[in-house]
């Protein structure tokens, strides 16, 4: 179990980061915090500044303004940083001729840890059968697991993972989801980036949505989905025309979304049932519409940043 200081230790605070690459603005006042005990999704199109922000958090990239703190301290001031922050930026960043185990071994040595800890994390990520093979022969999914193992070496309260499911097969993605959730459940702060909102469905508790180097939205996932779902009702009926007439007459906006389905906005589910019953319109299902995270993201980016929403949606596909 993690130390009791966890709640304080397990945070990332990013404040007003600014950085340019030549004339391109990479970070434009990036500000957010990552809380303990949650998986925080870090979402935005490619080029929005996710990786640059992560590199700044890890002290790899310098910034022109602002600061990034982990557990209240700048990364580069940490004596054994991997015991505070575990990170995975690029799963393929290893020398192919070294075995997975020896890769973890040198990393363990850098934190004053030994081979026993290596074997523990290898077991944890399910890579024991391949760990004595050359890492160059690993599939991308195996490299991601090795990367997660290296992030866990120091049993850190904070995890920073850049696109960890990239290139994983569906089974691997499911494993990663469960794994990230369990890490957060242990009280750790987990920051996971993705350029696909759908990847974070069922994984993230909170999302920080970024575009062009700054935060567009910083919101809880359930809250986000709720607001995107609105008071819409999905209706399944064989008498589509009649239903539209009745409901529109009662002031609702009705959209045809399938051969026998309608989406009704402006009326509660109860009211829809009462109206249809009163007019003897047959229907087989009335349910509150629940937006997917992807839909919510689309809606939000459309509202929040009218001028480049199209671009974000394009790359979100």
Partner 1 sequence: MKEALRVEWTKLRTVAGTGWLLAAVVLLTVGLGVASSFAVNCSGVGCGQDPAKISLSGIAFGQVVVAVLAVSAVGGEYGTGMIRVTLAAIPRRSTVLVAKAAVVGALVLVAGSAAVLVSVLAGRFILRDNGFTEAHGHAVLSLADGPVLRAAVGSVLYLVLVGLLSLGVATAVRDAAAAIGIVLGLLYLFPIVAAVVSDPDWVERLQRISPMTAGLAVQATTGLDSLPIGPWAGLGVLSLWAAGALSGGGLLLRLRDA
For residue 288, what are its two tokens?
A: 């509150």
**Look-up of token digits 């004596």:** 79
* Residues 244, 251: Cα–Cα separation, whole Å: 11
Binding-site member from 3, 96, 137, 230 for partner 1 (CB under 8 A): 96
Residue 81 near partner 1 by CB under 8 A:
yes
Would you say 216 and 209 are in contact if contact means Cβ atoms under 8 Å apart?
Answer: yes
Site for partner 1 in 142-201 (CB under 8 A): 150
Q: Can you count the helices (H) and strands (E) in the chain?
A: 11, 13
Residue 90 near partner 1 by CB under 8 A:
yes
Tell the smallest beta-carbon distance from residue 80 to partner 1 (Å): 9
Residue 58 near partner 1 by CB under 8 A:
yes
* Residues 41, 204: Cα–Cα separation, whole Å: 5
Tell the smallest beta-carbon distance from residue 84 to partner 1 (Å): 11
Q: Which DSSP letter does residue 134 get?
A: B
Tell the smallest beta-carbon distance from residue 30 to partner 1 (Å): 16
Residue 61 near partner 1 by CB under 8 A:
yes
Show the CA angle centred on residue 310, arms to residues 309 and 313, nearest 5°: 85
Residues contacting partner 1: total by CB under 8 A: 31
Burial class from Cβ neighbours inside 10 Å (0-12, 13-18, 19+) for residue 259 reads: exposed
Binding-site member from 4, 23, 46, 62 for partner 1 (CB under 8 A): 62
Residue 95 near partner 1 by CB under 8 A:
yes
Residue 59 near partner 1 by CB under 8 A:
yes
CB nearer partner 1, residue 40 or residue 111: 111
Tell the smallest beta-carbon distance from residue 89 to partner 1 (Å): 6
Q: Which DSSP letter does residue 1 get?
A: -
Site for partner 1 in 98-137 (CB under 8 A): 98-99, 102, 105-107, 109-112
Binding-site member from 8, 65, 93, 274 for partner 1 (CB under 8 A): 93
Binding-site member from 32, 75, 175, 297 for partner 1 (CB under 8 A): 75
Would you say 191 and 12 are in contact if contact means Cβ atoms under 8 Å apart?
Answer: yes
**How many beta carbons lie within 10 A of that of residue 139, not counting itself?**
13
Would you say 32 and 218 are in contact if contact means Cβ atoms under 8 Å apart?
Answer: yes
Binding site for partner 1 (CB under 8 A): 55, 58-62, 75-76, 78, 81-82, 87, 89-90, 92-99, 102, 105-107, 109-112, 150
């Amino acid at each position: 179990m993690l130390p009791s200081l966890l709640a304080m230790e397990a945070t990332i605070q990013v404040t007003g980061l600014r950085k340019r690459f030549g004339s391109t603005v990479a970070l434009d006042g990036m500000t957010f915090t990552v809380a303990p005990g949650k998986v925080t999704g870090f979402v935005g199109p490619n080029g929005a500044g996710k990786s640059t922000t992560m590199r700044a958090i890890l002290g790899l990239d310098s910034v022109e303004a602002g600061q990034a703190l982990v557990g209240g301290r700048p990364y580069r001031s940490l004596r054994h940083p991997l015991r505070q922050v575990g990170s995975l930026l690029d799963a393929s960043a290893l020398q192919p001729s070294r075995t997975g185990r020896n890769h973890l071994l040198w990393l363990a040595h850098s934190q004053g840890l030994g081979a026993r800890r290596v074997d523990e994390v290898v077991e944890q990520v399910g890579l024991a059968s391949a760990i004595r093979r050359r890492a160059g022969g690993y599939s991308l999914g195996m490299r991601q697991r090795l990367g997660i193992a290296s992030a866990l070496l120091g049993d850190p309260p904070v995890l920073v993972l850049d696109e960890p499911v990239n290139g994983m097969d569906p089974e691997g993605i499911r494993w990663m989801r469960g794994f990230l959730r369990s890490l957060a459940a242990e009280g750790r702060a987990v920051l996971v980036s993705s350029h696909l909102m759908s990847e974070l469905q069922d994984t993230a508790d909170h999302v920080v949505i970024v575009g062009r180097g700054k935060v567009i939205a910083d919101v809880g996932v359930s809250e986000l989905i709720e607001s995107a779902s609105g008071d819409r009702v999905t209706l399944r009926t064989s008498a589509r025309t009649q239903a539209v007439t009745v409901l529109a007459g009662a002031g609702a906006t009705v959209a045809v979304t399938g051969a026998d389905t309608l989406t009704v906005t402006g009326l509660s589910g109860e009211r829809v049932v009462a109206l249809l019953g009163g007019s003897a319109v047959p229907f087989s299902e009335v349910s509150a519409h629940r937006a997917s995270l992807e839909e919510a993201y689309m809606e939000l980016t459309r509202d929040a940043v009218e001028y480049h929403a199209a671009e974000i949606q394009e790359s979100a596909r």
